[in-house]
A = this chain, B = another copy of it.
Amino acid sequence: MKKFINSAETMVAESLQGFVRANSDLVVFGTDRKYVRRRELTHGKVALISGGGAGHEPMHVGFIGQGMLDAACTGHVFTSATPEQIVSAIDDVDTGAGCLLVVKNYDGDLMNFEMAMEMASSRHTVEMIVVHDDVEEQPGRGRRGVAGTLVVEKLLGAAAERDMSLPDLVKLGLETTDCIRSMGVALSGVTVPHTQRRTFSLDATEIEIGVGIHGEPGHSREPFANCDTIIERLCSTILADIRKPEDMTGLLFVNGLGSTPPAELYLAYNSARNLLEKQGVSVGRSLVGTYVTSLDMQGLSVTLALLTREQTELWDFPVKTPSLRWG
């Protein structure tokens, strides 16, 4: 396992420090480095906080800034942030209009964010949105929150910036996470630095379909195939699962899981777009890049969101974060 790290113990802290130093125009460390927050807060706006395990960078810290998150809490690799971290962030960034926690549907994250909500409830009004965009249903646990989390954070961030109230944000969050579906594929497993163990191994002829973002195996091992075939497998599953109301704008997001170079992501986007358009889905918005990772996994995920006109406006709303900027 060759990685650019100094030690498994210090890697998360050092990487976060590099991130904050490289983006010091936009973000700062919070109290005792327990979270990262915007350099400038907007008073009277609902505060958006997200977080989770490390290993998914640039998510969530890369999405802190105007039009998106106010703070993000990072735990150890693939391990939730602690309630204490989350409470510290809430105490710091809630400027009076309340706080919305955006949480990916994983047991550890749910437990710790819920505990933080309870701990903060005497001093703050806090609500929570659980993202569950994966097409896979995990027995007894529902769908995982994966790359679609970026879309939820972008839309809620824009709405918060436009002074939407906390109850309306919760409503928007529930509607939004329902209109997004994602599916991932891996060409390699990952090695978790702390354990030095590979989560699964694939030989030269195999791929893993349906992976999440914690190095866990997917729902089936299949033969390696060309990009069109792999993408067809993902897109047809997504299309069978997503609600397709009238007059929607398709947002197609092809996300690298860590080690997939940009040229391949653009090629996969091309395959996905061909396929979706053949199926009558009109793609009006696009995002291609490495935004939600699973350490150094060679793989990608396809996310499709079918957005109403209001949601499309929120997607287009200016955003100024280390990892997403436009408008």
The stretch from A7-15, A92-100, A141-149 touching chain B is A7-15
Asked whether, in the complex, the Cβ of B57 is within 8 Å of the Cβ of A16, the reply is: no
Is A19 in contact with chain B by the CB < 8 A criterion? yes
Tally A residues with Cβ within 8 Å of B.
Answer: 57
**A290 touching B266, Cβ below 8 Å:** no
Mask: chain A, 253-279; 1 = CB below 8 Å from B; 0 = not: 000001111111111111101000000
Task: Among A14, A296, A325, find the residue whose CB has the most chain B CB atoms closer than 10 A.
Answer: A14
Binding site for B on A (CB under 8 A): 1-7, 11, 14-19, 21-23, 54-55, 57-58, 62, 187-188, 204, 207, 224, 226-228, 230, 258-271, 273, 286-288, 290, 293, 295-296, 298, 300, 325-326
Instruction: Contacts A2-B204, A57-B261, A325-B326 given; indicate if A270 touches B300 (C-beta within 8 A).
Output: no
CA distance A62 to B271 in the complex (A): 19
Taking CB atoms, residues of chain B closer than 8 Å to A264 are 3-5, 15, 296
B22, B226, B262, B273: which contacts A21 (Cβ < 8 A)? B273
Q: For A260, give the chain B residue with the smallest CB separation.
A: B4
Q: How far does the alpha carbon of A134 sit from the alpha carbon of B246 in the complex, in Å?
A: 54
- In the assembled complex, the CB of A33 is this many whole angstroms from the nearest CB of chain B, namely 13
The dominant DSSP class at the A interface is mixed
- Cα(A169)–Cα(B177), bound, Å: 49
B14 touches A267 (CB 8 A): yes
Residue of B nearest to A226 (CB): B6
Would B286 and A14 count as touching, CB distance under 8 A?
Answer: no
Q: A324: nearest residue on chain B (CB-CB)?
A: B325
Whole-angstrom distance from the CB of A254 to the nearest CB of chain B? 8
- Set of chain B residues within 8 Å of A207, measured between Cβ atoms: 2
